């Protein structure tokens, strides 16, 4: 990655916003619920998590607490964003074949616009979640100041994977099936509906997954009112930066072959 790549994207920022808004409108056009789908899908994931946590509490004999419920809610929302952003961004080049083949613009705009459209959904659902948590009695603390940084780490991870998979999916069309498998079963290896602490010291291995670090960090600062684990957050941050640099470099170097592969 170099400065010129960022400057070029900045020059085409209006195209980025236009494509993102187009994706948002297409996603909800002629749907009965409209923008309420941005709330419905994450809330379904939250509801699924609550049911699973209730099953855990029955099996363990420990009652489910408000903290347990809040933890599921807080972690389900960014996971939903990660899944949706990765799914749409990985198909962004194939879904815009005419643009890729006919006119010049930085091709990074396409996966970035898909991520930006998913970000809109996330913010709509996040506002709803914040209201629910406030009504439920989850108070605020100074540690909420960590939230923007933690979310920035998540955004870097999503962008890195989105760039890499969109590029791979263009050259190898069966990549989309691999992505769907990873997203479907990835939730079982990511502490969305359960806590790392449930597995004792062995649970630390789950934190090798940087998404798990992001989710656990958000739980710490939003629900438990304590600072995140700086060692693991540092690890996730470093992983996100390195992944973004490598993915962007791969995407940029393969860009001149895109028109031949659409």
pLDDT band at 43 (very low <50, low <70, confident <90, very high): confident
- Mean pLDDT in the chain? 87
Average pLDDT over residues 148-158: 96
For 104, other C-beta atoms within 10 Å of its C-beta total 8
Model pLDDT for residues 208-261, shown as the tens digit of each residue: 999 999 999 999 999 999 999 999 999 999 999 999 999 999 998 888 777 666
Number of domains in the chain: 1
* Structural domain range at position 123: 3-261
Structure tokens at 69: 């419920």
Residue whose pair of structure tokens reads 């470099």 in the numeric block: 249
Q: Would you say how long the chain is, in residues?
A: 262
pLDDT band at 115 (very low <50, low <70, confident <90, very high): very high
Average pLDDT over residues 122-150: 90
For 59, other C-beta atoms within 10 Å of its C-beta total 8
13, 231, 1, 35: which is closest to 116 by C-alpha? 13
Report the pLDDT value the prediction gives residue 3, as an integer from 0 to 100.
61
Structure tokens at 199: 């597995």
Model pLDDT for residues 75-107, shown as the tens digit of each residue: 999 999 999 999 999 998 888 888 877 777 888
226: alpha, beta or left? (left if phi > 0; alpha if psi -120 to 50):
beta
Structure tokens at 24: 């948002």
**216-221 contacts: CB < 8 A, separation 24 or more?**
216/75, 216/191, 217/146, 217/150, 218/74, 218/75, 218/78, 218/147, 218/150, 218/151, 219/71, 219/74, 219/75, 219/195, 220/143, 221/141, 221/143, 221/144, 221/146, 221/147, 221/150
SS3 205: helix
Report the pLDDT value the prediction gives residue 255, as an integer from 0 to 100.
82
Cα gap 201→197, rounded to integer Å: 8
pLDDT band at 44 (very low <50, low <70, confident <90, very high): confident
Report the pLDDT value the prediction gives residue 2, as an integer from 0 to 100.
56
Model pLDDT for residues 2-39, shown as the tens digit of each residue: 566 778 888 888 999 999 998 888 877 766 566 677 77
Instruction: State if pTM tops 0.85.
Output: yes
State yes or no: pLDDT of 195 exceeds 70.
yes
């Amino acid at each position: 990655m170099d400065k010129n790549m960022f400057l070029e994207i900045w020059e085409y920022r209006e195209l980025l916003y236009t494509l993102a808004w187009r994706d948002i409108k297409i996603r909800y056009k002629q749907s009965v619920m409209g923008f309420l789908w941005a709330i419905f899908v994450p809330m379904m994931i939250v509801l699924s998590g609550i049911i699973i946590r209730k099953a855990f509490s029955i099996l363990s004999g420990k009652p489910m607490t408000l903290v347990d419920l809040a933890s599921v809610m807080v972690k389900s929302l960014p996971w939903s964003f990660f899944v949706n952003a990765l799914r749409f961004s990985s198909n962004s080049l194939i879904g815009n074949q005419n643009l890729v083949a006919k006119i010049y613009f930085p091709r990074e705009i396409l996966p970035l616009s898909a991520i930006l459209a998913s970000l809109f959904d996330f913010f709509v659902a996040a506002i709803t979640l914040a209201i629910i948590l406030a009504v439920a009695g989850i108070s605020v603390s100074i540690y909420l100041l960590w939230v923007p940084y933690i979310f920035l780490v998540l955004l870097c991870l999503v962008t890195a994977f989105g760039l890499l998979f969109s590029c791979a999916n263009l050259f190898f069309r069966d990549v989309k099936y691999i992505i769907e498998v990873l997203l479907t079963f990835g939730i079982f290896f990511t502490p969305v509906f359960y806590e790392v602490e449930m597995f004792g010291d062995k649970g630390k291995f789950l934190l090798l997954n940087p998404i798990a670090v992001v989710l656990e960090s958000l739980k710490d600062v939003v629900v438990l009112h304590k600072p995140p684990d700086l060692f693991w957050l540092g690890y996730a941050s470093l992983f996100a930066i390195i992944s973004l640099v490598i993915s962007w470099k791969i995407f940029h170097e393969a860009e001149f072959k895109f028109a031949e592969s659409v």
